[in-house]
Amino acid sequence: MIDLHTHSIFSDGGLIPTELAQRAYAAGYEALAITDHVDHSNIDFILPRIIKVCSIITEKGNIKALPGIEITHVDPRDIPALADEARKLGAKIVVVHGETIVEPVPAGTNLAALKSAIDILAHPGLLTEEEARLAAQRGIYLEITTRKGHNLSNGHVVQMARKFKANLVLNNDAHSPSDFVHSELARKIARGAGLADDEISVMLENSNRIVQKVSV
């Protein structure tokens, strides 16, 4: 299992990065990305620290930890510049907090994110056809999430992704130890969203593909 969307105490998670990684390892995960929430106020503070600790964690050999960020609740017009800044600062995984139906995310966030240099659009809510088509064209992964609330629109995301052949990735959006679901439950959640077993296998392999790509 791989989780490319997690949070530590550097944003709203409950664990320091090393414990977050250890909890993931104990739950059977082979890799995770630490992607704390950022905006203009903290991106240059958080990323160097996440990069440092991810390097230390990975060197120990138990689990691969990738440094990243999740651009969250900013004005959509600011997403491209923040994504570019994240890359310059060394982020391996750039996530944008999509238009989940359970939070007041600014309208236009999904579209702005999909026009930016990002890897994953998290919990994109009621994704439009234009957005799904753009995700497919630009090779940006759409997230199927196990997280309560955000997962209410998983089925819709699956339908849009299937229609336009956009790539999917399964994440926990983990904030605490209990958020790291086991493989069997992850597959059940994916089936509940309407994915067939072969599609689930492809989705899970997508996570591995991302890890291999950014680890080069």
| CATH entry 3.20.20.140 includes domain 2-214 | yes
d(CA 120, CA 86): 14
**What is the Cα gyration radius of the chain?**
16
Question: What is the residue extent of each domain of the chain?
Answer: 2-214
Contact yes or no for 169/142 (Cβ under 8 A): yes
Q: Give the global pTM.
A: 0.97
Quick: pLDDT tens for 43-90: 999 999 999 999 999 999 999 999 999 999 999 999 999 999 999 999
Cα dihedral across residues 39, 83, 22, 53: positive or negative: negative
Between CA 104 and CA 170 the distance in angstroms is 23
pLDDT in tens, 142-158: 999 999 999 999 999 99
Which residues have a Cβ under 8 Å from the Cβ of 3 and sit 6 or more positions away? Answer: 24, 29, 31, 32, 33, 171, 172, 174, 180
pLDDT value, residue 23: 97
